[in-house]
């Protein structure tokens, strides 16, 4: 594993315009990257793009594609809503996002 560090022998130096984060504010893992970026003072080195916090079909014009995920929002378009009218990240429209009623273990944010 390689680390991003200022050491002269580091394979990956912290340089402006070299790294970019794509994050969703609804994702706890992405949120942690933003916290570390701020704590390490890397705001000037690592740029950020925030995706829309509502999961959508990633290929909306392809009826055979069932994949959903974070998408880039259009600031001029109406807000995304899921099938129950809320703006949450996991739309009920997609069966794969429904919890397994027989699952007895712990759950994690997908």
Q: What is the pTM of this model?
A: 0.57
CA-based angle 103:108:110, to the nearest 5?
105
Distance in angstroms (rounded) separating the CA atoms of residues 103 and 86: 25
Residues that are catalytic: 27
Q: How confident is the model at residue 88 (pLDDT cuts 50, 70, 90)?
A: very low
Query: Average of pLDDT values for 93-102?
Result: 55
Strand-strand pairing, 52-57 and 68-71? antiparallel
Query: Average of pLDDT values for 75-101?
Result: 54
**For the chain, percent of residues with pLDDT exceeding 90:** 10
Q: Tell me 97's DSSP state.
A: G
* 48-84 pLDDT per residue, tens: 988 877 777 888 889 898 888 888 877 777 666 554 4
């Amino acid at each position: 594993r390689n680390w991003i560090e200022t050491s002269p022998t580091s394979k990956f130096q912290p340089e402006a315009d070299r790294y970019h984060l794509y994050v969703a504010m609804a994702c706890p893992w992405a949120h942690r990257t933003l916290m570390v970026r701020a704590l390490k003072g890397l705001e000037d080195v690592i740029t950020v793009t925030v995706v829309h916090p509502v999961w959508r079909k990633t290929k909306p014009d392809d009826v055979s594609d069932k994949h959903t995920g974070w998408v880039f929002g259009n600031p001029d378009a109406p807000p995304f809503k899921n099938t129950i009218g809320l703006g949450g990240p996991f739309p009920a429209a997609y069966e794969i996002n429904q919890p397994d009623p027989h699952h007895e273990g712990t759950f994690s944010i997908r």
